């Protein structure tokens, strides 16, 4: 993969992001590369590869923006969990050298679409009134499936299955699966369970028209509606750059501490 134009995106609201951005620019400059740098709110096109310093939220916004131009995004974690990042700030120099030497792959991650809005992680539907439950009527391909009396509904991609959906009791999906997960949030019946469906399905969720509801895209963009919302697979894919030999299950063990020894307290 030939790469000529590099960029570094940073988040001024994330601690040490500017500091890490400057360090990254110096590392690239020492290798003969003059990269452009800009804040997360000033994204622009025209690059072959983009480094991102920040948490998963920063990476999500950057990946959504560059999905249309099919530009790979490489995350350097400054947040808490950092499921989408591939490098820590301690390993930044080694990671840059691997990228420049072509020791990476670009993984396509399916995205969700609702009208003009896209999501790499998930769409979340909730009632605008705080602390109120709502009735959500789920249809798939125009056919009724079930009604949820719940605090909300999450429609997640495999990438987003380790985010809000996991906290709400949904399953973890490997990123390569062509599937979506529908997870009710705090449903008021024990028979309401997460549902895994093909990514070719078209989802429609209706709500009580007398209440205002919100649709959140990756927890960042907000759309208000009061009747129904349609969600389907986006025609664009998020392009995540992963270092060679990167392993999803190792990431799970590390981030979720599955490999940590269990301690008994008597």
What is the C-alpha to C-alpha distance for residues 133 and 114, in angstroms, rounded to an integer?
23
**73, 87 contact by CB (below 8 A):** no
SS3 label, residue 246 = coil
Residues recognised as catalytic: 56
In terms of phi and psi (left: phi > 0; alpha: psi -120 to 50; beta: otherwise), the region of 44 is beta
DSSP state of 119: E
Beta carbons within 8 Å of 12's beta carbon, 6+ residues apart = 18, 39, 40
What is the C-alpha to C-alpha distance for residues 246 and 235, in angstroms, rounded to an integer?
26
C-alpha torsion 77→82→84→88, nearest 10? 30
Exposed, middle or buried: residue 231 (CB in 10 Å: 0-12, 13-18, 19+)?
buried
Residue 242: both structure tokens together: 């992963």
Cross-sheet strand order for the sheet of 195-198: 195-198, 179-185, 152-156, 122-127, 213-217, 221-225
């Amino acid at each position: 993969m030939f790469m000529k134009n590099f960029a570094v995106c940073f988040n001024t609201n994330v601690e040490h992001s500017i500091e890490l951005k400057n360090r990254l620019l110096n590392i690239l400059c020492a290798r003969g590369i003059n990269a452009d740098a800009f804040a997360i709110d000033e994204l622009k096109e025209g690059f072959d590869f983009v480094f991102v310093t920040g948490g998963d939220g920063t990476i999500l916004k950057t990946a959504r923006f560059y999905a249309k131009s099919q530009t790979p995004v490489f995350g350097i974690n400054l947040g808490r969990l950092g499921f989408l990042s591939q490098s820590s700030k301690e390993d930044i120099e080694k990671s840059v050298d691997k990228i420049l030497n072509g020791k990476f792959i670009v993984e396509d991650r399916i995205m969700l679409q609702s009208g003009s809005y896209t999501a790499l992680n998930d769409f979340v539907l909730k009632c605008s009134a705080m602390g109120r439950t709502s009735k959500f009527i789920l249809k798939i391909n125009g056919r009724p499936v079930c009604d949820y009396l719940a605090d909300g509904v999450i429609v997640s991609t495999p990438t987003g299955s380790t985010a809000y959906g996991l906290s709400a009791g949904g399953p973890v999906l490997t990123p390569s699966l062509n599937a979506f997960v529908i997870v009710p949030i705090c449903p008021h019946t024990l028979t309401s369970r997460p549902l895994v469906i093909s990514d070719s399905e078209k989802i429609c969720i209706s709500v009580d028209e007398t209440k205002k509801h919100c649709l959140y895209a990756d927890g960042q963009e907000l759309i208000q509606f009061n009747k129904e919302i349609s969600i389907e697979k986006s025609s664009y894919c998020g392009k995540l750059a992963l270092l060679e030999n990167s392993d999803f299950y190792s990431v799970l063990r590390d981030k979720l501490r599955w490999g940590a020894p269990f301690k008994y307290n008597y």
